[in-house]
Amino acid sequence: MCMLEDPRDASTLPETLSFAEVLDAPFALEEPEGPALAGTPYAVVRRVGQGGMGEVYEAEHRALGRRAAVKVLHQRHVDRPDLAARLRGEARLLGRLRHPNLVDVFDLGVTADGRPWFAMPLLFGRDLREELARSGCLTPERAASLVGQALAGLGAAHAAGLVHRDIKLENLFLEHDGTVKVLDFGIAKATSGGGAFRTDPATSPGTPRTMAPEQCAREPVDSRTDLYAVGLCLYELLAGRGPFDDARGSADALRFAHARREPAPPSAFARRPIPAALDRVVLTALAKSPADRFQSAAEMAGALAASVAPLPAVPLAPSRRSPAASFVALSAAALALVALVLTLVTSLAAR
Ligand SMILES: Nc1ncnc2c1ncn2[C@@H]1O[C@H](COP(=O)(O)OP(=O)(O)O)[C@@H](O)[C@H]1O
Ligand SMILES: [Mg+2]
């Protein structure tokens, strides 16, 4: 998890150097955490995150002084060519995609000890797991807005023929300006040709807690597999827990739950009211059969936005009365008012 301070915080910005100083001082930064990026053009400033495969550093380009985030294969995986290939694959996939809800990758290389790394813009904010821990359950509107952005990024990846396969709150990053970025395409796969592919049992990618029924059963996965995982993220943001958290102690029980158990709607656990339409969106995303889910990220995003939209104001029907009819109605109302006043006055006088 990562929490970065305000990007304008002076302590995180490089000092302004003259052109001559820039040329003379290309190795200005220390590497406080060892030679994690040795052999790259970057010097470590600090570590800002890590996951199963890599570490992510805030780093400074030694010659340009430009700050970036550098993701590098973890040192413990130095002898894992399969993971090295995944990290390189992630960089190449992202390098080809351009979308406001995805990160741009602008450099790729190998460290002195043979680990691949890539550079991307440094994001300021925190992942949605951390956001949930800090704010507690989100309002339906906020959850829908953040997840809607994730769906936009995911839709772009799907359109390029990719399935992410590891959508979870830790891989959705909320920037200080409110933008959500979908991170970590480390186990993404191209759905070349047929649009679906079979998960390789040997590598068993994904996280049991967020695996769709077809992933658990090692059946072909496609973009609708990601939509199941998005449904789980939305569930957690609304309810503060997943639908099958009672089975979290055992990977087998979790797999069984995803494959067979019907989830209760998020409103069963949420502390604030959830619109019925939003419950339906979540349950549709979590349908066991991909055919019963939303068929695209755009379709899900549309249903999600509509489920929290305020009801449209009902326009008043235009009056069809003729001016003469209106005059008669008005006169009758005035006469009724006069009669009421007279009755009141007479009853008062009688006392
Ligand atoms: N561009 C970035 N800027 C800032 N932090 C980042 C950036 N990319 C990733 N991180 C942080 O690093 C963590 C690990 O990155 P991720 O790509 O998920 O690695 P892994 O493949 O090892 O799971 C993320 O959860 C996030 O907190
Ligand atoms: Mg990750």
Is residue 333 included in any domain, yes or no?
no
Contact between residue 62 and residue 26 where contact means Cβ atoms under 8 Å apart: yes
CATH number at residue 155: 1.10.510.10
**pTM (predicted TM-score):** 0.78
CATH number at residue 78: 3.30.200.20
Contact between residue 246 and residue 313 where contact means Cβ atoms under 8 Å apart: no
Q: For residues 150 and 256, state if they share a domain.
A: yes
Residue 52 alpha carbon to ligand 2 centre in Å: 7
- Reported as half-sphere exposure (CB side, CA atoms, 13 A), residue 70 has a value of 30
Domain residues for 82?
A: 28-120
pLDDT at 274 over 90: yes
Residue 168, token pair as written in the block: 């979870």
The pLDDT of residue 330 is 65
Q: For residues 88 and 136, state if they share a domain.
A: no
Contact between residue 126 and residue 2 where contact means Cβ atoms under 8 Å apart: yes
Nearest CA to ligand 1 atom 1: 122
Q: Is 222 a catalytic residue?
A: no
pLDDT at 7 over 60: no
| Backbone torsions φ then ψ of 318, nearest 5 degrees | -65, 145
Tell me which residue of 91, 68, 235, 222 sits closest to 154, measured CA to CA.
Answer: 222
Least confident of 69-73, 97-101, 184-188, 254-258: 184-188
Exposed, middle or buried, 38 (CB in 10 Å: 0-12/13-18/19+)? Answer: middle
DSSP assigned state of 43: E
CA–CA separation, 351 and 46 (whole Å):
91
Q: For residues 279 and 163, state if they share a domain.
A: yes
Q: For residues 86 and 175, state if they share a domain.
A: no
Please name the helix (run of DSSP H) or strand (run of DSSP E) that holds residue 60, with its range, or none: strand 54-61
Picking from 104, 120, 136, the residue at the C-terminal end of a domain is 120
Full DSSP string of 133-154: HHH-SPPHHHHHHHHHHHHHHH
Q: What is the pLDDT of residues 314-328, one digit of tens each?
A: 766 655 555 555 565
Q: For residues 216 and 68, state if they share a domain.
A: no
pLDDT at 166 over 70: yes
Residue 258, token pair as written in the block: 């995803």
Whether the CA torsion 293, 295, 297, 301 is positive or negative: it is negative
Task: Please report, for residues 37, 84, 91, 186, the alpha-carbon distance to residue 114 in angstroms, rounded to integers and kept in the order given.
Answer: 11, 9, 16, 18
The pLDDT of residue 310 is 85
Picking from 69, 93, 120, the residue at the C-terminal end of a domain is 120
Residue 115, token pair as written in the block: 């680990």
Is residue 57 included in any domain, yes or no?
yes
Nearest atom within ligand 1 for CA of residue 127: 27
Contact between residue 146 and residue 94 where contact means Cβ atoms under 8 Å apart: no
Q: Is 192 left (phi over 0), alpha (psi -120 to 50) or beta?
A: beta
Q: For residues 59 and 197, state if they share a domain.
A: no
Enumerate residues 6+ apart whose C-beta is below 8 A from 7. Answer: 122, 124, 176
The pLDDT of residue 338 is 67
Overall domain count for the chain = 2
CA–CA separation, 243 and 5 (whole Å):
33
Ligand nearest to the CA of 175: 1
Q: What is the pLDDT of residues 43-99, one digit of tens each?
A: 999 999 988 889 999 999 999 999 999 999 999 999 999 999 999 998 998 999 999
Task: Please report, for residues 28, 39, 108, 114, 251, the alpha-carbon distance to residue 62 in angstroms, rounded to integers and kept in the order given.
Answer: 7, 11, 16, 20, 45
CA–CA separation, 349 and 340 (whole Å):
14
The pLDDT of residue 343 is 63
54 ligand 1 Cβ < 6 A = yes
The pLDDT of residue 171 is 94
Is residue 348 included in any domain, yes or no?
no
Q: Averaged over 196-206, what is the pLDDT?
A: 48
Enumerate residues 6+ apart whose C-beta is below 8 A from 174. Answer: 125, 126, 127, 128, 131, 146, 180
Q: For residues 132 and 68, state if they share a domain.
A: no
Picking from 88, 120, 152, the residue at the C-terminal end of a domain is 120
Q: For residues 186 and 108, state if they share a domain.
A: no
**What percent of the chain clears pLDDT 70, i.e. is strictly above it?**
75
The pLDDT of residue 332 is 59
Confidence of residue 262 (pLDDT cuts 50, 70, 90): very high
Q: Averaged over 169-174, what is the pLDDT?
A: 96
53 ligand 1 Cβ < 6 A = yes
Q: For residues 253 and 298, state if they share a domain.
A: yes
How many Å is the Cα radius of gyration of the chain? Answer: 29
Q: Averaged over 128-136, what is the pLDDT?
A: 96
Ligand nearest to the CA of 51: 1
Tell me which residue of 157, 15, 14, 23 sits closest to 90, measured CA to CA.
Answer: 157
CA–CA separation, 244 and 264 (whole Å):
9
CA–CA separation, 310 and 137 (whole Å):
20
| H-helix segments, 18-74 | 19-24
Q: For residues 94 and 158, state if they share a domain.
A: no
Q: For residues 85 and 169, state if they share a domain.
A: no
Residue 184 alpha carbon to ligand 2 centre in Å: 5
Is residue 241 included in any domain, yes or no?
yes
Q: For residues 170 and 111, state if they share a domain.
A: no
* Amino acid at the residue 276: A
The pLDDT of residue 186 is 83
Q: What is the pLDDT of residues 16-39, one digit of tens each?
A: 333 333 233 333 344 444 578 999
Q: Averaged over 172-186, what is the pLDDT?
A: 95
The pLDDT of residue 15 is 34
Nearest CA to ligand 1 atom 20: 51
Is residue 337 included in any domain, yes or no?
no
Q: What is the largest CA-CA distance in the chain?
A: 108
Q: Which residues have C-beta under 5 Å from ligand 2, the single-atom ion? A: 51, 171, 184
pLDDT averaged over the chain?
83
Of 292 and 206, which is predicted with more confidence?
Answer: 292
CA–CA separation, 304 and 143 (whole Å):
10
Q: Which of 166, 184, 226, 279 is catalytic?
A: 166
